[in-house]
Amino acid sequence: MKEVVFLFYEGMTSLDAIGPHTVLAHIPGVQVKHVARRAGAIQTDAMRLTLMAEHSIEDISRADVLVVPGARSATTLEQYPEVLEWIRVIHQTTTWTTSVCTGSLILGAAGLLQGVPATSHWAVMDRLKKWGAIPTSQRVVEAGKIITAAGVSAGIDMGLTLAAKMAGKEVAKRIQLGIEYDPQPPFDCGSIEKADPEMVNVLRAAMESQFEKEIKRVQSDEEQAALWNQELGDY
């Protein structure tokens, strides 16, 4: 039985998890687990949509696959060093460590993307550089055991890519057909290459206003904690 573990946290984007979850849960011989800093109900960024994490990070010490979703706030979870340490520990046990959307920033903050090609939501692509990653504008980016997906809906593509690796292309194709994943969007503006530049600029500004403040990296844990306390005091 292969274990697929999803990391949940407050404010996460629901579709970042639900998309790949729908795919991966259909793979024969897979057990899906949901973990958070503390077990219990997790409020997503979708109004009134709550997900349940049945495990805390203390409960889970290994995974065959780790999936880290993103959030509208583009959080790095730096305020929870115990979660980043847990990611580092779990990464040592995984066959694949994955992220969706801004979840790659969390992998970066955990120290997993140094010198690694990775993607993210287009609005935060430059933030990957802070963590030593190589920003790569692709729907899904594979770099050894690390697989990152672009914004939100790309998590389904990542899930199907991973399904083919785990169970073979025919199984992945059947899953794709079963969920009728055949995107035909009503508007051809789902990427910044296709969208009107003015729309891109307006949306970028609106999204950036919700992003977590970028904190300058410091040398010591004490300095970092003090800086976080100062930042949190601003809210």
- DSSP codes, 65-94: EEEE--BTT----TT-HHHHHHHHHHHTT-
Cα torsion 94, 99, 105, 108 to 10°: value is 20
Q: How many CB atoms lie within 10 A of CB 198?
A: 8
For residue range 45-71, list pLDDT tens digits in order.
Answer: 987 899 999 999 999 999 999 999 999
Q: Any idea which of 17-21, 44-48, 98-102, 138-142 has the lowest mean pLDDT?
A: 44-48
32-41 mean pLDDT: 98
Q: Distance between CA 61 and CA 72 in Å, rounded? A: 28
Residue 115 DSSP symbol: T
Could you give the residue numbers annotated as active site? 101
Which CATH number describes the domain made up of 2-186? 3.40.50.880
Can you give the residue ranges of every domain in the chain? 2-186
Any residues with CB less than 8 A from the CB of 14 and at least 6 apart, and which?
Answer: 44, 45, 46, 49, 51
Determine the length of the chain.
Answer: 235
pTM of the full structure: 0.90
